[in-house]
A and B are shown apart, each in its own frame.
Chain A
Amino acid sequence: MNEMIIIVLVLFGALLALLASGVWVAVTLIVVGFIAIAAFTPSPPDSLLAITVWDHSWNWALTALPLFVWMGEILTRSRLSQDMFSGLAPWLSWLPGRLLHVNIIGCSVMAAVAGSSAVTAATIGRMSLPELKKRGYSESMSLGTLAGAGTLGLLIPPSIMMIVYGIVTQQSIARLFIAGLIPGLVIISLFMGYVIIWSLINRDKMPPNDIRMSFMEKLWNSRRLIPVIVLIVLVIGSIYTGFATPTEAATIGVLGALGLAWVSRTLTLRSFLDGLMGAMRTSCMITFIIAGASFLAIGMAFTGIPAALAAWVEGLGLSTWMLLVMLTLIYIVLGCFLEGASMIVLTASIALPMIQAAGLDPIWFGIYLIIVVEMSQITPPVGFNLFVLQGMSGRDLMVIARSAFPFFMVMILGIVVLATWPGLVTFLPDLMMNR
């Protein structure tokens, strides 16, 4: 155990030092992965580096990322995303927090399409950040809601993480998908609740609310929402009618967005190329970090730290609640280094038996794990939603992390809620898949 602590400290120190000194995130991850393998294992780092980076860069599930980012670019460059906000504004004018809720709802809808949190945050963020800024909303709340709600991409089906967990632990993926729905709603409500409370306390930080419209005016104004609604129906519909897989649906989103831009006469060769190049740069930035993170993850796997940590907890013989607290703390620490899928793969098969011994349901644990992984997306230094939003907003990683912190705490509250009433997770799958 002592040796493990030294390894953790060395790696964590190197990670922080490199990041703080301005080395690019992806490069830093590669260096730390290299240190892990070269210094603490007998394996050859060079071949492992090349192969790992290669294997993770041509992952089919990842192809949805650039496509959805592209869709967002097209919508932003046409008038469509602007129209969406104009259409929604009157309907939300009574709700404290107003258009900030669009981030949360938008991410939830996007989450029903995309299986990853980076995609969700990137697509919605690309459209909403400029609009919210234009309208004078608090920057830290705009970023925070996006960072937090963007993680819902993992909890609301379809979800790459649930598939990973299901296959690693031999649990039903269909059950997990259904089980994610209510917890998803719980977390969405908690996020919205936080936004409401925040904006009631900080009235001075909200832009003035001067929309006075009759119901009919609102309705007429909502015609602007039609194109976006058509697009959403098209993308979600293509998945749930079995026309396309979730990955393929991304392409339908791109085609749909191009079609709408063309209909609204904002599609020019220039805007098409600008959008394509912009999408390429954003997705290049993200996938480069994913490649770096994959190498760090395999470095961690070779050192055996995650497994050792889980084994250590098992040895403590804790009560159910203490076990959950302990696991959550460990996952928060691991979440600083690792991206989501690696966290699940490296720990799930060790943690699950403990959980079952403590009398908890494996599906429940799956959902818990997904939420913990969601939290890791917004904790520095390695948090993908932070990276995505830094790329989108140009604000510093730590600034975004601070904006996202309240939402991190809200997710912890979400875990407490689900641990207190585990039925929230298991009720729906038991009802719908009664065998």
Chain B
Amino acid sequence: MRRFLDTLYLLSGYLAAFFLMMIAVLVVAQVAARFFGVIFESTETGGFCLAASTFLGLAHTLKRGCHIRVSLFIHKARGATRKAIELWSTGVATVVMGYVTWAATHMVYESWFYEELSPGMMAVPIWIPQLGMLLGCAIVTIAFADEFCRIACGAEAAYQEQSETALSDDDSTSARVAPQRADGIASHNRLERGRAS
């Protein structure tokens, strides 16, 4: 079960990244088409890819601790208080995203029932891109519920374990970039850094 869920979040994250890349691909196609005098419209499909990327990425982004919240008070809390806060926030999120999923289901059904088409030149049945929203919201609801259960069982929330940021203290960013050359400024940089810290 654990493996299945983690794979689900990761796969939908990859899918989200794929759709992000597709925005770029579509725009390139649009610019090229204009250059060669062919009509190709990416305004709508690009937007649909953006929506798909947003919603399908939700669960993965959550698991990596990248959705933000005010952590000022959370970090001060310890023990049972901390657990209560985490249960409350994941609980609220589960209910809210569950509600959004339900509302989205209704919306997708109506778009399908009324055979609504997108207004642009592609004339896409609108329920198809909306499906991405529905799917993404459903997966993130599962992810929030998953976190709720983990915390209830006494485990650490996954979203706190992996948060990676530009100012994280292990200096992972500089480790990621290519090795510095030991000439002029690069060595000077290290000097400046060494003195400051």
Contacts and interface: CB of A to CB of B under 8 A. Distances in A.
Given A284-B54, A397-B68, A58 B129 contact: yes
A398 to B, nearest CB: 5
A76 B185 CA distance: 18
B92 A208 contact: no
Contact of B133 (A54, A279, A283): A54
Interface string A378-413: 000100000100111111111100000000000000
A78 B178 contact: yes
Contacts of A288: 54, 58, 61, 67
B44 to A, nearest CB: 8
Nearest to B107: A50
Interface string A332-359: 0000000000000000000000000000
B193 interface: yes
B165 A394 contact: yes
Interface string B1-44: 00000000000011011001101100110110000000000011
A397 to B, nearest CB: 5
Instruction: From B54, B71, B88, B100, name the one whose CB has the most chain A CB atoms within 10 angstroms.
Output: B54
A24 interface: yes
A164 B154 CA distance: 49
B86 interface: yes
Contacts of B180: 82
A282 B61 CA distance: 8
A53 B17 contact: no
Given A58-B47, A86-B186, A394-B168, A134 B70 contact: no
A277 B100 contact: no
Interface string A42-67: 00001101110110011110110011
A175 interface: no
A280 interface: yes
Interface string B53-92: 1110110110010111111111100000000011011001
Given A49-B100, A57-B50, A285-B67, A21 B21 contact: no
Contacts of B153: none
Contacts of A67: 23-24, 27
B195 A136 contact: yes
B167 A248 contact: no
A62 B43 CA distance: 11
Nearest to B86: A22
Interface residues of B, number: 79
B130 A54 contact: yes
Nearest to A253: B24
**How many A residues are at the interface, by size bracket?**
35 or more
Q: Identify whether the interface residues of B are mostly helix, strand, loop, or mixed.
A: helix
A243 B16 CA distance: 29
B139 interface: no
A207 B54 contact: no
Q: Which of A25, A62, A277, A391 has the most CB of B within 10 A?
A: A277
A71 to B, nearest CB: 10
B93 A60 contact: no
A136 B166 contact: no
Contact of B68 (A51, A87, A208, A391): A391
A54 B27 CA distance: 21
> Which has the most chain A C-beta neighbours within 10 Å: B53, B66, B69?
B69
B121 interface: no
A83 B55 CA distance: 35
Contact of B13 (A26, A87, A277, A397): A277
B103 A47 contact: yes
Q: Which 10 residue pairs of A and B lie closest in terms of their CB atoms, listed nearest first? A: A136-B196, A394-B165, A58-B47, A284-B57, A50-B107, A50-B103, A129-B166, A130-B173, A251-B27, A58-B51
29 contacts: A19-B70, A20-B72, A22-B69, A22-B71, A22-B73, A25-B70, A27-B97, A46-B103, A47-B106, A49-B99, A58-B51, A63-B23, A63-B50, A66-B23, A82-B177, A125-B166, A130-B167, A210-B188, A211-B188, A224-B185, A252-B31, A255-B24, A276-B21, A281-B64, A393-B166, A397-B71, A397-B72, A398-B70, A399-B72
Interface of B: 13-14, 16-17, 20-21, 23-24, 27-28, 30-31, 43-44, 46-51, 53-55, 57-58, 60-61, 64, 66-75, 85-86, 88-89, 92-93, 96-97, 99-100, 102-104, 106-107, 129-130, 133, 163, 165-168, 171, 173-174, 176-178, 180, 184-186, 188-189, 191-193, 195-197
